[in-house]
Structure 1
Amino acid sequence: MKQTLLTHARVVFPTEVVEDIAVLIEDGRIASIDPDRTEKTEIIDLDGRILIPGMIDLHCDALEKEIEPRPNVHFPLDFSCAQADKRNAVAGITTVFHALSFANHELGVRNNAFAAKIARAIRSFRLQALIDNRVHARYEVTDETAPPILRELIEQGDAHLISFMDHSPGQGQFRDVETYRNYLSHTYKTNEDTIEGILTRKLKAAQGAMDRMRYLAEIAQLHGVPIASHDDDSPEKIATVQAFGAVISEFPINIETARAARKNGLATLFGAPNILRGKSQSGNMRALDAVINGVADCLCGDYSPAALLPSIMRLPSLTDITLSQAVAMVTVNPARAIGLSDRGEIAIGKRADLVAVKMYGSLPHVEKVWKDGKLVISATYNHV
């Protein structure tokens, strides 16, 4: 029976931070908090490092960029999965939901066949991974061809979260046609004729979107796959997605919608890069304003998983929330939102997914990461 004792840690619990405490790891679980005595135990002195639960990222697009760093330039999928795995581990993320877009009207990796291929590559890679790699299937509801593919992925256990997104211009993230046209042009570096074709097909395919959402929601619920909604823009939209069984509202674009989501029992999720940058890339509500107004439950890496840790460490100085509350936004809150009851907090019986953090000035560095009690990352930084 392997035991590891982490001593002299500054431990972040869900409701408080306790100085100079020990955590005992046994067979991949947290066996004890500040035990009186141990035998045959490896002792690791954390010397005042902050100890937090492994972070849980419910929405991370970064794998898409690992695969396609430039338009139409693709790396092998196993190589890309391995690089993303290491990047997440070094960032202190021990559970990641790779957000893959099923949007056949778009280009690059965001078409159905390629996205499904990536999802299956993630499944193949999981056994050799440093952390827990999962799939967040983002369904563009104006795509009439994706539901059979998504159903197969859900039934085969290759999709662990599904979200409904609607990038049609005139609502949600893209409030007018020109905003969406600029997004396509910037993202895919394509010509006007191609963009106009995408717009025309998308608007036509919007017919029947509600029926497709209902169909996929029923399949997801049957197989225990949580449902999220993306870029909600009104309380009415919240009521609609709640009726489909959604438990998470991703990136609600205004405070009124975020309040409606929480009132109706949906957890709200915002992007950590938004915290670091101080603004939304699409001009919608700032994540920081959501935190200040008490309507933010979770943060995600979005397009930059490395932004999670510095964002939560910065929040107590920018708002009136505590370090425990900030850490909860990337640990216990997402775990509860998605029903992962075995992780997300430092408590007896929980998985020993842990991260030791050293502060250098205002910048946090991940020094050690344990996944299921196994040390997967160890880095020593020069003193600054």
Structure 2
Amino acid sequence: MTMPDLRLVGAQVLTSDGLADQPLALAGGRIVDGGKARDVDLSGFMVMPGIVDIHGDAFEKHLAPRRGAMKDLDQGLIATEAELAASGITTAILAQFYSWEGGMRGAEFAGRVFATLEQVRDRLVTDMRPQLRFEISMTGEYPAVTEMVAAHRIPYLVFNDHLPHEELARGKRPPRLTGQALRIGRNPEKHLEYMQALHAGMDEVPAMLDELCADLTARGVLLGSHDDHTADDRANWRARGVRIAEFPETLEAAEAAHGAGDAVLLGAPNTVRGGSHKGNVSATDLVVMGYCDALASDYHYPSLRRAALQLADSGVLDLAGAWGLISSGPARVLGLADRGELTAGNRADLVVLDAETCNVCATLSGGQISYLSGEAARRFLA
């Protein structure tokens, strides 16, 4: 249920020019100019645009908190929303694998996740949207991917290649293979044979990708590549109409993407940590260079807020610019023109932070409260 018309007063509201002491009026799930509304005194708080998470897979732990516990997907998605809301996220892209890894990252499970999301959508406040992460080596699955995208109206697909090609080319057994196979109930030797067959078929991939990308582009699907390593990698993807570069691994790849006008997404955990856990290029360095259009939660939802505030506190960007990397920036990449900024006509997507601690105290998505705590709750409900 949408909240009654409200006017938030006394808070510092984030505008494109920075924090401003001005009221913010909400009506019918939108931000409006003026109008009659009940005042909510938010003195001591900051009101920020709702966070748009453009890529996150932390929902996996809610869908399967223990091995084999993957039956109540609806409850898992509802639990995911609770974490999203507590993290100030009002729009979330759920990055679901379609991978040779099987199990929770297999094709059958992906279909279940997308179907369940459709079933529970009316029970959610947060705008949760699907993303399909497809492993390009799965040449036999290309027709099925097209069907899945159409059946579930998936708006955003990203191409991955996580096969350990180097080890497979040498005829070596990839690390963690046995544990990975046993976790999904597959014989380790059969799993290795499957991986070797996918590796051997990589020569077929470029032509198949050309056709698949053309088809998906014609359907209006946003396309991204994952972990680009070189400028040539990015150029090849761009030639197919893939204009989003998720988590480029090197300065060369990020620079090539930015220079050609492709959107560059970086990981918020990388920014918070000060570097990549895999030894890739530092997200903070790329932000400093201006090679970042949006930060993504990747695998940790709370890192989005922390990364933006850290960038602002360290002087890398002003607060409006830093917060824009988790609000207006990702909204722009996704083509969502109705959110990301607290301007009249936009959705009433916002997060209320304690001015001293910067902790999330309230989150509203489309004018509906998805999270409310402490003193902010008392103020809203008074």
Distance, in Å, in 1 between the alignment partners of 2:316 and 2:148 is 42
5 Å-filtered alignment, 1:251-266, equals 251-266=247-262
Between the aligned partners of 1:58 and 1:135, the Cα distance in structure 2 is 10
The one-letter amino acid of 2:235's match is: A
- Give yes or no for contact 1:106–1:198 (8 Å, CA) kept in 2: no
Aligned counterparts of 2:282 and 2:111: Cα–Cα separation in 1: 32
- Contact 1:143 / 1:202 at 8 angstroms: preserved in 2? yes
Q: Aligned-pair distance for 1:289? A: 1.9
1:315-370, Cα deviation, whole Å (9 max, x unpaired): 12335211111111111111111211111111111111111111444xx3111111
In 2, are the aligned partners of 1:82 and 1:129 still within 8 Å (CA)?
A: yes
Query: Residue by residue, what CA displacement relative to the aligned partner does 1:191-231 show, whole Å, maximum 9, x if unpaired?
Result: 86466335313312323222332233223222222111100
Shift of 1:284: 1.0
Choose 278-287 or 211-220, whichever is displaced more. Answer: 211-220
Distance in 2, Cα, partners of 1:180 & 1:306: 36
Tell me the equivalent position of 1:110.
105
Q: What are the superposed Cα offsets for residues 113-172 of structure 1, whole Å, 9 maximum, x if unpaired?
A: 11111111111111111201110100100012332232123223431210111113358x
Aligned to 2:379: none
- One-letter identity of the residue aligned with 1:20: D
Q: How does 1:206-221 map to 2 (within 5 A)?
A: 206-221=202-217
Letter matched to residue 62 of structure 1: A
Corresponding residue number in structure 2 for 1:377: 371
Q: Relative to 1, partners in 2 of residues 1:200 and 1:20: Cα closer, same or farther, differing over 3 Å?
A: same
* Residue 118 of structure 2 is aligned to residue 123 of structure 1: yes
Distance 1:262 1:21 in 2: 36
Q: Pick from 266, 272, 284: which aligns with 2:268?
A: 272
Identity of aligned residues (%): 29
CA distance in 2, matches of 1:359, 1:6: 15
**Residue 149 (structure 2) pairs with residue 154 (structure 1):** yes
Equivalent residues of 1:7, 1:45 under 8 A apart: yes
Change (3 A) 1:176 1:366: farther
Give TM-score scaled by structure 2 length. Answer: 0.89
Q: Which amino acid aligns with 2:24?
A: V
Relative to structure 1, is the Cα distance of residues 62 and 184 closer, same or farther in structure 2, using a 3 angstrom cutoff? farther
Partner of 1:181: 174
Q: Residue 187 of structure 1: CA displacement?
A: 6.1
Write the distance in 2 (CA, Å) between the matches of 1:360 and 1:335.
27
Q: Which moved more, 1:234-243 or 1:351-360?
A: 351-360
**1:8 maps to which residue?**
10
- 1:198/1:175 CA distance change after superposition, 3 Å: closer
Specify the SS of the correspondent of 2:96: strand
- In structure 2, the partner of 1:313 is 309
Q: 1:28 to 1:175 in 2, by over 3 A?
A: farther
Asked if the contact 2:351/2:360 (under 8 Å) is kept, the reply is: yes
Shift, 1:244, TM fit: 1.6
Q: Is 1:246 paired with 2:242? A: yes
Structure 1 residues 131, 188: CA separation in 2 closer, same or farther (over 3 Å shift)?
farther
| Gap regions ≥5 residues in structure 2 | 377-382
Contact 1:181–1:195, Cα closer than 8 Å, also in 2: no
Is 1:353 the counterpart of 2:349? The answer is yes
- Relative distance call for 1:157 and 1:106 in structure 2 (3 A) is closer
The offset of 1:279, in angstroms, is: 2.5
Contact 2:82–2:370 at 8 Å: present in 1 too?
no
SS in 2 for 1:62: coil
| 2:137 equivalent to 1:135 | no
**Count of residue pairs the alignment pairs up:** 371
Specify every segment of 5 or more residues in structure 1 that has no aligned partner in the other structure, as ranges. Answer: none
Aligned partner (choices 298, 320, 327) of residue 323 of structure 2: 327
